[in-house]
Amino acid sequence: MESTEDYVELIDDLIRTQGEARLVDLAERLGVSQPTAGKTVARLQRDGFVTSEPYRSIFLTERGKSLADAARERHDLVYRFLLAIGVSQDTAERDSEGVEHHVSEETLQAFQRIINSSDKA
Amino acid sequence: MESTEDYVELIDDLIRTQGEARLVDLAERLGVSQPTAGKTVARLQRDGFVTSEPYRSIFLTERGKSLADAARERHDLVYRFLLAIGVSQDTAERDSEGVEHHVSEETLQAFQRIINSSDKA
DNA sequence: GCCTGAATTTAGCCATGGCTCATCTTATAC
DNA sequence: GTATAAGATGAGCCATGGCTAAATTCAGGC
């Protein structure tokens, strides 16, 4: 599931920045209705990525946390890569979202090389 | 729809290389069952990208053809870009599939610049 | 302590994109 | 010309990821 990563990544982010992850914020940030966000969170819980009790905020399990970490790392790498090749910040934010789920390790490594060489320059 | 582009691109390719596009080949190349391919083709027809009659091969409409052309162009650009940054042919083929639907014009232009400068080198 | 508004959940709908199993056409070999 | 195999459809199932509308719970203000 592609959206699994988006959700855990965002939940992690919300916990860091807001102290907790609420459905209403998830829905807003993902541009989705609250019931939709709720349904997805239920799936995440079923699959062991989060824990949540009715009317309470959402927590990541160990499994969810490590998925979130990996996703953020990849996301970040793609984002920095896009900046390095001269894409605007706005576009880099939007496109890195789309791209991060579809690139292999090998391609990520190539991205990293580009970042490195543009750092040196 | 993301798969719309994959389908018209492949249909175009099959017509070029095989002379015609048959469901069975679509299904095989996309790694999908024939009924699934059939259902998608029905949708493509509903949306005006292809014409097809029962038990006959599939044709692209004007609309389908121009979508296929645009998709192939983008696909090709991403593919050449990946090669240019040192990704293997195999991976470039797989990843360009995934990436082509998620990059903006701006990013594609950045890709083109990289291709150009590596051509010169 | 209750009322009200915000957050959440429930119910029920839809499209896409998958599948299997069964049936029906079509084309080919004989 | 007919049997058979390949190709295409049909029927019916499932999960994901969307939505709206309605009901419920929770929390804060008074």
The model's confidence at residue B73, banded by pLDDT at 50, 70 and 90, is very high
* CB contact (8 A) between residue A87 and residue B101: no
Separation CA B99–CA B72 (nearest Å):
13
Three-state SS for B104?
coil
| Average pLDDT of chain B to the nearest whole number | 96
Task: Reply yes or no on whether the pLDDT at A83 is more than 90.
Answer: yes
Q: From the CA of B53 to the C1' of C28: give the distance in Å.
A: 21
User: Measured between CB atoms, which of A82, A101, A107 is closest to B82?
Assistant: A107
Q: According to the model, what pLDDT value does residue A98 have?
A: 93
Phi, psi (rounded to 5 degrees) for B51: -120, 145
pTM of the model: 0.94
The answer, for A82 touching chain B at a CB cutoff of 8 Å, is: yes
Query: Positive or negative, the Cα torsion across B10, A108, A4, A46?
Result: positive
Residue B112 has which token pair? 């083109």
Chain C bases near protein Cβ (<7 Å): 6-12, 16-22, 25-27
Domains of chain B: 2-67 (1.10.10.10), 72-120 (1.10.60.10)
Task: Reply yes or no on whether the pLDDT at B120 is more than 80.
Answer: no
Asked if residue A57 keeps its beta carbon closer than 7 A to nucleic acid strand C, the reply is yes
Residues B14-27 have pLDDT tens digits of: 999 999 999 999 99
Residue whose C-alpha is closest to residue B111's, from B100, B121, B120: B100
Average pLDDT of the residues in A51-67: 98
| Average pLDDT of chain A to the nearest whole number | 96
Residue A121 neighbours by CB distance under 10 Å? 6
The answer, for B2 touching chain A at a CB cutoff of 8 Å, is: no
Residues A14-33 have pLDDT tens digits of: 999 999 999 999 999 999 99
The model's confidence at residue A48, banded by pLDDT at 50, 70 and 90, is very high
B9-38 burial, b if ≥16 CB within 10 A, otherwise e? Answer: bbbbebbeeeeebbbebbbeeeeeeeeebe
User: Measured between CB atoms, which of B98, B103, B113 is closest to A86?
Assistant: B113
Separation CA B49–CA B57 (nearest Å):
14
* CB contact (8 A) between residue B87 and residue A110: yes
Task: Reply yes or no on whether the pLDDT at B65 is more than 90.
Answer: yes
Q: Is A78:A98 a contact under the CB 8 Å cutoff? A: no
Separation CA B91–CA B85 (nearest Å):
12
Task: Reply yes or no on whether the pLDDT at A86 is more than 80.
Answer: yes
Proportion of chain A above pLDDT 90, given as a percent: 95
Distances, alpha carbon A19 to alpha carbons A28, A52, A58, A70, B64, in Å: 17, 15, 11, 21, 49
Residues 25-54 of chain A with CB under 7 A from strand D are 30-33, 35-36, 39-40, 43, 54
Separation CA B77–CA B66 (nearest Å):
17
Separation CA B19–CA A44 (nearest Å):
46
Q: Is A106:A72 a contact under the CB 8 Å cutoff? A: no
Asked if residue B31 keeps its beta carbon closer than 7 A to nucleic acid strand C, the reply is yes
